[in-house]
Structure 1
Amino acid sequence: MAYLFLFVAILLEVFSSTQLKLSQGFRKFWPSLFTLVGYSVTFYFLALSLKTLSMGVVFATWSGIGTALTVFVAILFLKEKITLRSIAGLCILLFGIILLNFR
């Protein structure tokens, strides 16, 4: 169940980060509201996952997978560019997360 909570926290973090970009510095009401509510609920699910999983695994997985998914969302929906160096960095990041989770 803890990994399900972590997965929900990751998806909400990606959603909230995307809304933060769309809020244009908290000048747009709805994206700003979605950012604040989304991050609040994100931390709730993160706290639930921390009841049984180790802090290192939770935060490495949450931040790493969240970062990777946020990059993909930015490329697909916000038309941001990605470089070969960025791809290499994401691969290294994901490899590290895999190592932490399967120790």
Structure 2
Amino acid sequence: MPFVLLAFAIAFEVTATLAMRASEGFTRLWPSVIVVAGYLVSFVLMARALLTLNVGPVYAIWSALGTVGAFAGGVLLFKEQVKPVTIAGAVIIVVGVVVMNLGGGVRQG
């Protein structure tokens, strides 16, 4: 169950980040509301996951998948440019999280 909470936390974080782009500097109401609500829900869900999971690996997973998700969403929704070096950076982030998780357990105890 904690990994399901983490997955939803990531989804809400990515949604909030993409809504921030759509808010045009918080000048548009509904995207701005989605930003605040999305981050709030994301943090609550991650806090619940952290009741049984270790903070280091969880934060690494949350931030890495959030970064990759925001990158993909930016490309798909906002037609942001994709460069080989950007893809390489995303791969390095994911590999870093995998290596970090190989170094120790995700669960507390």
TM-score after normalising by structure 1: 0.96
After superposition, give the CA deviation of every residue in 1:29-82 in whole Å (9 maximum; x if it has no partner): 000011101110010001011111111011100000100011001111110001
Alignment of 1:51-66 (within 5 A): 51-66=51-66
Aligned-residue offset at 1:100: 2.3
Identity over aligned residues, as a percent? 35
Q: Which residue of 2 aligns with 1:32?
A: 32
Structure 1 segments of 4+ aligned residues over 3 angstroms from their partners: none
After superposition, give the CA deviation of every residue in 1:75-97 in whole Å (9 maximum; x if it has no partner): 11110001111111111110111
Question: Distance between the aligned counterparts of 2:83 and 2:19, measured in 1?
Answer: 23
Question: Distance between the aligned counterparts of 1:87 and 1:31, measured in 2?
Answer: 27
What letter corresponds to residue 53 of structure 1 in structure 2?
L
Q: Which residue of 2 aligns with 1:49?
A: 49
Question: Distance between the aligned counterparts of 1:42 and 1:96, measured in 2?
Answer: 22
Q: Which residue of 2 aligns with 1:2?
A: 2
Q: Which residue of 2 aligns with 1:88?
A: 88
Q: Which residue of 2 aligns with 1:68?
A: 68
Q: Give secondary structure in 1 for the equivalent of 2:44.
A: helix
May I ask how many residue pairs the two structures share in their alignment?
Answer: 103
Question: Distance between the aligned counterparts of 2:53 and 2:83, measured in 1?
Answer: 34
Question: Distance between the aligned counterparts of 2:28 and 2:16, measured in 1?
Answer: 14
Question: Distance between the aligned counterparts of 1:90 and 1:32, measured in 2?
Answer: 27
Give the gaps of 5 or more residues in structure 2.
104-109
Question: Distance between the aligned counterparts of 1:30 and 1:49, measured in 2?
Answer: 28
